[in-house]
Structure 1
Amino acid sequence: MSAVVVFSEGDPWFTNSHSWSVILRRALEAVPPADRQSFDWFLNETGLHFPSMEPAGRNSVARLMLAVVEELESEHAAQAGPKAAVSGPLHGDLVERLLDEVGASMNS
C-alpha cells in the first residue's frame, strides 16, 4: 500500500506506507491529543490532502510536515554518513513541495 500527499498546486507526491507511517506518527505527536481527531479527514494513513483543508490552516500544517520531514532527513543523513549525499534525500523532493505549499498558502 502507498500514501499520497496532494498539494494545493502541482503534482502529488507518493511514498510507501512504511515511510508514511513514520512521517504521520511524528506529525501527530506534535498535535495536542484533543486536536488529533480534527486532522483525520485530511491527514491519515492514506496520506495528506491539502485541498480538503481550510485555506487558513494549510500553512501551519505544511510547516508542521516540513519540520517533521526535515528532522527525518537530518537523522537519515547522520546515520548514513557520507553515503547520504550520494543517494540523495530519503523523502525525495517532499521538502521542496512542502516549501511550495507554505508559499502558496501565504499567498491565498
Structure 2
Amino acid sequence: MIRYYIGLDKVSENPYDRTSNPDGIIQLGLPENRLCFVLIEKWMAKNLRDSIMGTDGGDLNILGIATYQPFDGLMELKAIANFKSQVVGRAVLFDSLQMVLTAGATPAVEILCFCLAGH
C-alpha cells in the first residue's frame, strides 16, 4: 500500500469536527476547497460562458482570470476581509493589506513555516 493512502485512511477513520470530534485529524493533504463548492458552482453557472468568451463587457474574461496575478492574491478577493469583519460583528477587523491569499492549504502552511522560521 502506498503510504499516502495510509494518511487518507486515518483521516476517514477519525475526521476532525469542531463540536463532535475536536481531537480528530484535519485533512491537509488534498488541494481542494470543499467549503466553496456551492459558491463556485453558482458562479460558473452564471458567468462561465461570458468569462470564456469575454462577452460580459467588463474585465470578466479568460485573459483576466488566466494570467499571472499578484503574488499575495487579487484585491477583489481580498474584499472578503470586509465581509469576514461583518460576520464577526466587527469584533475583529481584517485588514486586506495584511492578507495573503493562497491556492490551498499547502502553500499557506509553507508560507507560514517560512515566516516562523525567519526565511
Q: TM-score, normalised by structure 2?
A: 0.28
**Which one has the bigger helix percentage?**
1
Name which structure has the greater RCO, CA cutoff 8 Å, separation 6+: 1
Task: Kindly name which structure, 1 or 2, has the bigger radius of gyration based on alpha carbons.
Answer: 2
